[in-house]
A and B are shown apart, each in its own frame.
Chain A
Amino acid sequence: MPAEIYLNVAISGLLTGLVYGLMALGLSVIFGVVRVVNFAHGEMMTVAMYLAVVLFAQFHLDPLLMMLPLAALLFVAGYAIQMTLINPFISRPEHSQFMLLLAMAVIIVNGLLIVFGPDARSVQTSYAFDSFAFGPVIVDATKLYAGIAALLVAAALFSFFRFAPIGKAIRACADNYTGALVVGLNVKRLYALSFGLGLACVGAAGAIIVLIVDVTPPLGPQMTLLAFIVVITGGLGSMPGALLGGVLIGLTEAMAGLFFTPSAKSMFSFALLVLVLLFRPQGILGKKPS
Chain B
Amino acid sequence: MMDLLLHGVPRHALVLLGLVLAALIAAPWFANDYLLTVLIVILYFAYTGIAWNVMMGFAGQLSLGHALYVGLGAYATAALYVHFGIGPWVGMPVAIFISVASGVVIGFLAFRFGVAGVYFAILTIAFCEFARVGFDHFGWVSGSSGLFLPVSNYTRNDLVNLRGQPVMFYYVILALTAVAFVLCHLLLRSRVGYFWQAIREDEVAARSLGINTFRYKMIAIAVSSGMTAPAGVFYAFYYNNLFPEQTFHILRSIEIILGPIIGGVGTLFGPIIGAFLITGLAEVLQEFLTAYGLDIPGVKRVFYGVCLLLVIMALPHGIWPPLARLLRLDKRQEKSKEPEA
Contact = CB atoms under 8 A, between A and B. Distances in A.
Given A103-B306, A103-B309, 14 more contacts: A88-B313, A94-B118, A100-B312, A100-B313, A107-B306, A110-B302, A113-B297, A263-B133, A266-B133, A267-B134, A270-B126, A270-B133, A273-B122, A278-B113
5 contacts: A100-B309, A103-B312, A113-B298, A228-B125, A278-B109
A88 B316 CA distance: 11
Interface in B268-312: 296-302, 304-306, 308-309, 312
A99 B121 contact: no
A106 B305 contact: yes
Interface string B100-121: 0000000001100111011101
A271 B126 CA distance: 8
A33 to B, nearest CB: 15
B176 to A, nearest CB: 24
In the complex, which of the residues B64, B298, B308, B340 has the most CB atoms of chain A within 10 Å of its own CB atom? B298
B117 to A, nearest CB: 6
Contacts, number: 125
Interface string B120-141: 0111011101100110110000
B298 A110 contact: yes
A261 B144 CA distance: 14
Nearest to B122: A228
Interface string A252-282: 0000000001011011001101100111010
Nearest to B317: A96
A109 B254 CA distance: 15
Given A107-B305, A228-B122, A267-B134, A281 B298 contact: no
In the complex, which of the residues B115, B134, B136, B313 has the most CB atoms of chain A within 10 Å of its own CB atom? B313
B interface, by DSSP: helix, strand, loop or mixed? helix
A263 B132 CA distance: 11
A interface, by DSSP: helix, strand, loop or mixed? helix
A229 B254 CA distance: 18
A225 B129 contact: yes
A274 B127 contact: yes
Contacts of A98: 62, 64, 121
A154 to B, nearest CB: 23
A93 interface: yes
Contacts of B62: 94-95, 98
Contact of A95 (B56, B115, B127, B300): B56
A37 B62 CA distance: 13
A271 B130 contact: yes
A99 B274 CA distance: 13
B299 A274 contact: no
A102 interface: yes
Nearest to B130: A270
B339 interface: yes
A106 B339 CA distance: 25
Contacts of A99: 258, 261-262, 308, 312
Interface string A225-242: 100110010001000000
Question: Number of contact residues on A: which range applies?
Answer: 35 or more
A104 B308 CA distance: 9
A111 B299 CA distance: 7
A152 to B, nearest CB: 29
Contacts of A102: 254, 308
Interface string B317-341: 0000000000000000000000110
Given A93-B340, A270-B133, A274-B127, A232 B119 contact: yes
B136 A263 contact: yes
Given A88-B313, A99-B308, A277-B115, A114 B126 contact: no
B129 A270 contact: yes
Contacts of B114: 281
A276 to B, nearest CB: 10
A162 B281 CA distance: 49
Contacts of A261: 137
Given A99-B312, A106-B305, A281 B126 contact: no
Contact of B298 (A37, A94, A103, A111): A111
Contacts of B261: 95-96, 99
A99 B113 CA distance: 27
B129 A110 contact: no
Contacts of A271: 130
B126 A229 contact: yes
B250 interface: yes
A26 interface: no
